[in-house]
Amino acid sequence: MRWLVPPLLTAGITVSVFMFGESNDPYVVPVAQEGSGAKVTVVEGPTEATECGEGALRLSANADESMMVCDDLSDSTCERDAEQLCPAGWQLCTQPQFVERNDGWGFGAGASTVLVGEIHDRADGSAGHFTVGMSSQRARLSRDVTSNCGYGTERVVLGSEAAPESESVGCNERHVKALCCAPTSTCGNGVVDSPEEQCDDGNDDETDECLSSCSWREPSAHVSSSC
Q: Are residues 29 and 77 in the same domain?
A: no
Count of C-beta atoms within a 10 Å radius of residue 134: 16
Question: For the segment 14-71, what is each residue's pLDDT rounded down to a tens digit?
Answer: 333 333 333 333 333 344 444 444 444 444 444 457 899 999 999 999 999 999 999 9
Residue ranges of alpha helices (H) inside 73-151 are 95-101
* Pair type for strands 57-61 and 67-71: antiparallel
Q: Are residues 91 and 142 in the same domain?
A: yes
Q: Are residues 4 and 85 in the same domain?
A: no
Q: Are residues 15 and 55 in the same domain?
A: no
Asked whether residue 192 is domain-assigned, the answer is no
pLDDT of residue 186: 95
Q: Give the integer Cα–Cα distance in Å for 117 and 130.
A: 5
Asked if 137 contacts 112 with a C-beta cutoff of 8 angstroms, the reply is no
Residue ranges of alpha helices (H) inside the chain are 95-101
Query: Total structural domains in the chain?
Result: 2
* Pair type for strands 127-132 and 33-34: unpaired
Please tell me the pTM assigned to this model: 0.77
Asked whether residue 158 is domain-assigned, the answer is yes
Nearest 5°: CA angle at 69, between 67 and 75? 150
